[in-house]
A = this chain, B = another copy of it.
Amino acid sequence: MRDVLERLAAGELSVAAAEAELAGYATTDAGRFDAARETRRGVPEAVLAEGKTPAEVGALAATAVETAGRALVTRADGERRAAVRAAMAEEHPDADVRVDERARVVVAHAPAFEPPALDATVGLVSGGTSDAAALGEADAVATEMGARTERVEDVGVASIARLLDRVDGLRACDVVVVAAGREGALPTVVAGLLDAPVIGLPVSTGYGHGGRGEAAMLGMLQSCTVLSAVNVDAGFVAGAQAGLIARRIAAAREG
Asked whether any CB of chain B lies closer than 8 Å to the CB of A54, the reply is no
* A229/B229 contact (C-beta < 8 A), A213-B208, A217-B209 known: yes
B31 touches A129 (CB 8 A): yes
| CA of A241 to CA of B242, assembled, Å | 13
Collect the chain B residues with CB atoms within 8 Å of residue A192's CB: 40, 157-160
| CA of A216 to CA of B224, assembled, Å | 12
Digitize A171-212: 1 where CB-to-B-CB distance is under 8 Å, 0 elsewhere. Answer: 000110000001111001101111111010010101111110
CB nearest to A163 among chain B residues: B160
Asked whether any CB of chain B lies closer than 8 Å to the CB of A123, the reply is no
CB nearest to A237 among chain B residues: B226
Asked whether any CB of chain B lies closer than 8 Å to the CB of A219, the reply is yes
Asked whether any CB of chain B lies closer than 8 Å to the CB of A7, the reply is no
Asked whether any CB of chain B lies closer than 8 Å to the CB of A232, the reply is yes
* Residues in A202-255 with C-beta less than 8 Å from chain B: 202, 204, 206-211, 213-234, 237-238, 240-241, 244-245, 247-250, 252-253, 255
A183 touches B220 (CB 8 A): yes
Asked whether any CB of chain B lies closer than 8 Å to the CB of A98, the reply is no
A231 touches B245 (CB 8 A): no
Please list the residues of chain A having a beta carbon within 8 angstroms of any beta carbon in chain B: 24-25, 31-32, 36-37, 40-43, 120, 127-129, 154, 156-160, 162, 164, 174-175, 182-185, 188-189, 191-197, 199, 202, 204, 206-211, 213-234, 237-238, 240-241, 244-245, 247-250, 252-253, 255
Collect the chain B residues with CB atoms within 8 Å of residue A42's CB: 195
| CA of A241 to CA of B203, assembled, Å | 21
Shortest distance between the CB of A214 and any CB in chain B (Å): 6
A216 touches B208 (CB 8 A): no
| CA of A228 to CA of B250, assembled, Å | 20
Tell which of A32, A162, A244 has the most Cβ of chain B within 10 Å.
A244
Shortest distance between the CB of A185 and any CB in chain B (Å): 3
Write 25 A-B pairs (CB below 8 A) sorted by A numbering: A41-B191, A157-B188, A157-B192, A157-B224, A158-B188, A158-B225, A164-B164, A182-B223, A184-B185, A197-B245, A199-B228, A202-B208, A204-B208, A207-B233, A208-B217, A208-B222, A208-B233, A209-B214, A210-B218, A215-B222, A217-B221, A228-B228, A245-B245, A252-B252, A252-B253
